Amino acid sequence: MSTRPYIVGNWKMNGTRALLAEARAIDRSAARYPGIQVALAPPATLIAALREAVSAIGVGGQDCHAEAKGAFTGDIAAVQLKDAGADFVIVGHSERRAGHGESDAIVKAKAEAALECGLGVILCVGESLAERDGGHAETIVARQIDGSLPQGDAATAGVPERLAVAYEPVWAIGTGRVAAVEDVVAMHAVLRERLIAAYGDAGKDVRILYGGSVNASNAAALLEAEGVGGALVGGASLTAEAFLPIVAAAGDEPVD
């Protein structure tokens, strides 16, 4: 089981091959932090090239289909991500849930397909602003995680090593508005409880990341907080200059 902090950059629909220079710079510095697990999830078009370009960091997809093959134009199977060089895939990002109508059941099926073919999974959950303002954040997120967690022997054989959960309040993503540390701690405790209910002792070791406007200034406070096992970073992962201070904030001393 890995207890290393996990710092993951999600490039979303940003980047062409020119951005590989940033990935190389991130990789060189990440090699100096063996106590921190660092990864990037570029657009699918860059997975194979990024795999070739880096050696110290993980490489991931941003979504996969639940089926292994078939007539699904424009989609990518988990096994194809793996074949392209990916180590893991993000599933259930709020931009997929909202923009592509992905239900908890779909997210669960994707997570199961990914784990079954040997990929790691970062499973995202998070409430909207209306849900938080209405006082329903914990109920909503508990329902999401209960409905999205992979089940079945073939998938859960990868828990806890290959499963991480990311708590990403929708209102904090790309807005510059970061969640209060005490709210993050409270939500991570809810998620831990649900993980233990689903997986027993294995649920104690699944890393729970925070995501939503993480940057160099707020990363240390978030990463030091109780129950926070890492960060999923969007905008601030696109350059080495913005991303590396977040890696450094995970607390490990660099080696030379």
Q: Which of 169, 194, 235, 243 binds ligand PEP (CB under 6 A)?
A: 235
| 230 scored as a contact of ligand PEP (CB under 6 A) | no
Query: 3-class SS at 247?
Result: helix
Choose the stretch contacting ligand PEP; rule: CB under 6 A; options: 17-25, 27-35, 71-79, 231-239: 231-239
Residue 121 exposed, middle or buried by CB count within 10 Å (0-12, 13-18, 19+): buried
Binding positions for ligand PEP, 149-168, rule CB under 6 A: 168
| 29 scored as a contact of ligand PEP (CB under 6 A) | no
Ranges assigned E (strand) in 128-173: 163-167
| 218 scored as a contact of ligand PEP (CB under 6 A) | no
| 214 scored as a contact of ligand PEP (CB under 6 A) | yes
Q: What is the largest CA-CA distance in the chain?
A: 50
Tokens for 139, please give them: 């109920």
What is the pattern of x (binds ligand PEP, CB under 6 A) and - over residues 170-209?
---xx-----------------------------------
Q: In this structure, are residues 127 and 136 in contact, taking their beta carbons and an 8 Å threshold? A: yes
Q: In this structure, are residues 66 and 81 in contact, taking their beta carbons and an 8 Å threshold? A: no
Which member of 22, 65, 93, 127 is catalytic?
93
Q: Which of 149, 233, 238, 249 binds ligand PEP (CB under 6 A)?
A: 233
Phi, psi values for residue 61, rounded to 5°? -90, 165
Choose the stretch contacting ligand PEP; rule: CB under 6 A; options: 42-50, 144-152, 190-198, 228-236: 228-236
Concerning whether 188 is annotated as a catalytic residue, the answer is no
The Cα–Cα gap between 189 and 111 comes to: 22
Residue 238 Cβ, how far from ligand PEP at the closest point, in Å?
Answer: 9
The Cα–Cα gap between 165 and 234 comes to: 16
Which member of 65, 131, 168, 188 is catalytic?
168
| 211 scored as a contact of ligand PEP (CB under 6 A) | yes
Concerning whether 168 is annotated as a catalytic residue, the answer is yes
Distances (CA, A) of 25 to 39, 50, 66, 87, 95: 13, 12, 33, 20, 28
Residues that bind ligand PEP in the complex, under the rule CB under 6 A: 10, 168, 173-174, 211-214, 232-236
Catalytic residue numbers read 93, 168
